[in-house]
Structure 1
């Protein structure tokens, strides 16, 4: 019988979490200073990005909120602002007339695509500065394994 690896202790886990969190904060701070995010801030872009990935009919506010790190009231206010700017729309849910779906407008889809292209290039620049192709693959495997172990939110 092969020896099982020793499980990490609390200190090792805390240090790994701190490192992961600080890395994300450092990268996000650098990315949010780029010209891409003058038109929309990163949280607004994240809303458009998640709506772009949604089914054609859109998402209910609560379903959209599952993909974001915002409180539901904050998201609701942000949606109001994005509606006013013509980037998203509220439509009746075809499956339940009492419910409302949030969907991208044509203008919102264009803004998301334009900013998204530049954003992906900048992410590549930042990530490729510090990690090789193999290390990026390993990072993806590790973060996916961690996400899978936690399960859906």
Structure 2
């Protein structure tokens, strides 16, 4: 028996842990969806602005942006059209590939993302801050990053 298989979690433990993680996320997302900051933008629209804000040089090609979102490419294209018509996102020819377009936030998009983000952080703290202590949140963060890193490595 190899060291990795000896320490590997059992199928039941993995399934029950997934269920716990998923149910916690569903409950948090239900609560977040009712927060007042998502009156101007939907959570998914905010997620697009948030991810664009966190891309290198504050820009991304649509295909690369879509890797960070839980929506289909056609849905993202329609959403970008809406965000662009509202003056929150702009398209430019990608300098590295003139066939592709690069997306970035406009000044208005950057300001709205920051405004919603500040309110959102406060509401997340109110919603979840008392559930775990500082070290437990740090452990949760570490475990989630480890899990995600392992999945991305595959």
TM-score between both structures, scaled by the size of structure 1:
0.92
In 1, the alpha carbon distance for the partners of 2:63 and 2:10 equals 36
In the alignment, structure 1 residue 88 sits paired with structure 2 residue 89: yes
- Which segment is superposed worse, 3-12 or 128-137? 3-12
Aligned residues: 151
Gaps of 5+ in 1: none
* Secondary structure of 2:56's aligned partner: coil
Deviations 1:71-124 (A, max 9, x none): 000100100110111110111112222211111011100100000001111112
In 1, the alpha carbon distance for the partners of 2:8 and 2:153 equals 23
Per-residue deviation at 1:57? 5.9
What residue number does 2:28 align with? Answer: 27
1 or 2, which has the higher helix percentage?
2
* Secondary structure of 1:31's aligned partner: helix
- Give the alignment's Cα RMSD to 1 decimal: 1.8
